[in-house]
A and B are shown apart, each in its own frame.
Chain A
């Protein structure tokens, strides 16, 4: 599909969403606040009254990585994804689901805690931004060992909690950063040459030990069970042979968990490394790789839980697509295998299955607050409980997922569990009413507020950078080019891509009319001063909820 075609698809989709009636500028702010307050109380009442006799459904949260709309058939992608297309038809499709931060770690942090990533109290995050400093949210946030999160609360309420797949939400100190010669500094992780053969028993035993280390560590954050774990994006395995996606491995581990846990209420967090890099469309990193090369080294026995990789390529070709598009079908097969497993175990009617990407990446909008990065499709399937083919167009987000799951499970969060999100349980069961009017977003040096019709993005550099700017300092770009203003993120690779493809990336104040300009190409900040003013006020309100975190003129 060409650029225009994709744009048309998106516009169509967004037009559909915008049939919603409520529009911020037409309703007074005070009214909204009151309305929201009533809604929240109403929600709380429901969850308490249902809490006593609510069943405990199983929850499977399937989280994909860096997945753009163009890798999903039902969103207009030029790919073959029959199972996910069917999942959209079999359940509920949240068309305006958003992640409040658009890179892996902070997004996942918010999914698993219900908190904004800027409120993270992880060690590394606080080291980077001590209280009083403006935060720069990107891949440094991590779960806190001593604070509540979703799996911990589920665990406390009789759930067996399982973790399979990509982490990237704990122990950033165990992850190698930088280029080819990156070395993990932690003595706790064993090393071997990058070209070492995992078939070598000595190398393999180190790989197994490292994997075990990751599994043991994850269990400290609310998971009873962890296996098939990747610390992050494969590179941390520091080995060429292992730098390949392996859905067979992770799906087989998920099967183990499901088989072991089928008789008790369970929560499974299943997180794929697809479609993050190494480029899964280059099949050498995916379908052409040896399926026995895993995050725990070489597994000689192999796996047999989903169609073979040759079969994926074959069916993809038969459906008329090039091999470069087969990665989408592969992921689709993985999701299909999990859906089938749940059905075969007879758990269909007692299991809520959620599919959602951690953020988008189309037009390199990852690491920006544009909708191509923020807005991702969420699918929810629950046989007999969720009406097939339903849609909800209201604004919801990743910080809402933990409160929603707890609400659905009839669990009242502990009093000292601080969450920013709201439960969208009513929307899950068919209520079309909007649940939130405004959604806050944060990434690097930018912040945003989004309503159904408008988005305002503010770029404000912290004091230290401002001084440099005032002094006329220039900054070096990813390719050595001279930048007048620095990227919004420390990660210059991400900053480079985002700046290149998003025309207003560095602009201080950005206002977009999402109704007429869903791709956020035209900044109408100067043209719409009244709306701009109202949206700036919204941002001030949102930012005021963060303790001791300045941001430009909004919070001093």
Chain B
């Protein structure tokens, strides 16, 4: 009997090997909202993404399951809703909350793929699954910023080497002070880095991927490469030339009415705007322009780096045999609703760009309005690679939609959650409506008439029936989302 099983396994793996697998390239950005031209945002220039979208299918309604890096990544890398992954903050680790979950790269590695990761894919080095998931993995740092080099020269002239034991503490403080405006997390740094593209983490990330592709790093195996692009996460640092593309006085944005928050539950707010130096209900035109310029510069910068990655596929003639998905871990507020940063369930906070190129399947320049969740990535890649996906996955393969961009899809709502103290806030969206449930109230937006979600209709009497429907949908979704815990 045992022999028979072994033979069977052998036969199966043999037949699998006989079926050539497509390569997979998964490009995931950090904190990138839908300010890219394929998502319909035109003020900034993303020629690489525009060209890529012209050869691919763009999903206009794709959403993260949790608008913070750690939980979102744990969710889509394992194909689980946050309530099932058990990761609902940046500290938790799925290896503890849900041991033995087979992550997406681990699944592909197990199935004969050469898997590689660069940059930020798993949330942090501490969350890195390492060799279990990857054949190769690496993270880079930015080269020293010119402001730091200048400070070092000055420091060494005064105090001697920064390496000197006695100088260490003072140099640390001096260095921090020198780069704080550019490089801090709080308040978020921003500005011209003074570095060249290749000296930035993302310059290195992209070049590393291109290098793997050009040098056949995967050998005879098909590859699964995850390219973790790290901008536009704060600090909003980019080479000078990308800032020059966006003169401050040409930046366009729309201010909100001061009483916006009177009708929206206050727990929908994330207070990060304070760290950026803003006040709720008050516009700060100068500061907003500076941050917008920096965020947009970062996007144009990463757009230029991604070109290196995509071009390398073409140069190696691998374009027709490589499936590419481009997306982000969640969205980002840039003053919308007076908010800054992530951790909200508004569309700007939860919606992501989502572009798929599956040669021979997706039609060039096609778009889909179907509801997509990032947990759909894992089963989609699995089906495209003709592999049976693990049973724990909660997403749905997008393959039927890739073949039919004109279809609405079977998924009626996209679902996201976010922590608020001991509780969770919830959002459900379909093509017409967005419903939010918070510890202290509800939201309902008519996305057709109010795509920016500025008029909360949850208290309107003519919406009682709709609210009832959404409450019922949410109750069912909550059970479903937690069902694989």
Contact = CB atoms under 8 A, between A and B. Distances in A.
The listed residue with most B CB atoms (<10 A of its CB), out of A290, A291, A300, A304, is A304
A308 interface: yes
A302 B403 CA distance: 13
Nearest to A252: B408
A302 B431 CA distance: 10
B211 interface: no
A304 B409 contact: yes
Contacts of B368: 302
A553 interface: no
A171 interface: no
Interface residues of A, number: 11
A308 B408 contact: no
A304 B407 CA distance: 5
Contacts of B407: 291, 302-304, 308
Contacts of B404: 302, 304, 308, 310
A304 B410 contact: yes
Contact of A308 (B369, B403, B410, B431): B403
Contacts of A310: 403-404
B406 interface: yes
Secondary structure of the A contact surface, majority rule: loop
B403 A303 contact: no
B410 A302 contact: no
A135 B163 CA distance: 108
A310 B400 CA distance: 12
Interface in B296-315: none
A292 B408 CA distance: 10
Interface string B361-384: 000000011100000000000000
Given A308-B403, A308-B404, A301 B369 contact: yes
A304 B408 contact: yes
Interface in B380-417: 400, 403-410
A292 B369 CA distance: 12
**Chain B interface secondary structure, helix, strand, loop or mixed?**
loop
A310 B369 CA distance: 19
Nearest to B369: A301
A304 B370 contact: yes
A301 B407 CA distance: 7
Nearest to A260: B469
A472 B76 CA distance: 84
Interface string A278-291: 00000000000011
Contacts of A308: 400, 403-404, 407
A252 B412 CA distance: 13
A330 to B, nearest CB: 15
Contacts of A291: 406-407
B338 to A, nearest CB: 30
A304 B403 CA distance: 12
Contacts of A303: 407-408
B369 A300 contact: yes
A303 B405 CA distance: 10
Interface in A294-344: 300-304, 308, 310
A406 to B, nearest CB: 30
Contacts of B410: 304
Nearest to A308: B404
Contacts of A292: 406
A301 B403 contact: no
A521 to B, nearest CB: 47
Interface string A442-454: 0000000000000
Contacts of B408: 252, 301-304
B38 to A, nearest CB: 16
Interface string B75-98: 000000000000000000000000
A291 B403 CA distance: 14
A407 B370 CA distance: 44
Nearest to B432: A301
Nearest to B409: A304
A290 B366 CA distance: 13
A292 B405 CA distance: 11
A308 B431 CA distance: 20
A99 B200 CA distance: 78
Nearest to B406: A302
Nearest to B405: A302
Contacts of B409: 304
A239 B293 CA distance: 45
A301 B430 CA distance: 10
B433 to A, nearest CB: 13
A87 B139 CA distance: 62
A290 B431 CA distance: 19
A304 B400 CA distance: 10
B467 to A, nearest CB: 15
Contacts of B370: 301-302, 304
A290 B406 CA distance: 8
A355 B404 CA distance: 30
A300 B408 CA distance: 9
Interface in B304-357: none
Interface centre among B369, B370, B403, B406 (most CB of A within 10 A): B406
A299 to B, nearest CB: 9
Nearest to A305: B408
A304 B404 CA distance: 9
A201 to B, nearest CB: 12
Nearest to B60: A300
A292 to B, nearest CB: 5
A252 B410 CA distance: 12
Contacts of A300: 369
Contacts of A304: 370, 404, 407-410
Nearest to A292: B406
Interface centre among A252, A292, A301, A310 (most CB of B within 10 A): A301
Interface string B430-443: 01000000000000
B90 to A, nearest CB: 35
Nearest to A299: B408
Contacts of A302: 368-370, 404-408
B4 to A, nearest CB: 36
Contacts of B406: 290-292, 302
A301 B369 CA distance: 5
Interface string A235-265: 0000000000000000010000000000000
B324 to A, nearest CB: 23
A315 to B, nearest CB: 15
27 contacts: A252-B408, A290-B406, A291-B406, A291-B407, A292-B406, A300-B369, A301-B370, A301-B408, A302-B369, A302-B370, A302-B404, A302-B406, A302-B407, A302-B408, A303-B407, A304-B370, A304-B404, A304-B407, A304-B408, A304-B409, A304-B410, A308-B400, A308-B403, A308-B404, A308-B407, A310-B403, A310-B404
8 smallest beta-carbon distances between A and B, as pairs: A301-B369, A304-B407, A302-B406, A302-B408, A301-B431, A304-B408, A302-B407, A301-B408
Given A301-B369, A302-B406, A303-B408, 6 more contacts: A290-B406, A292-B406, A301-B431, A302-B370, A302-B407, A308-B403
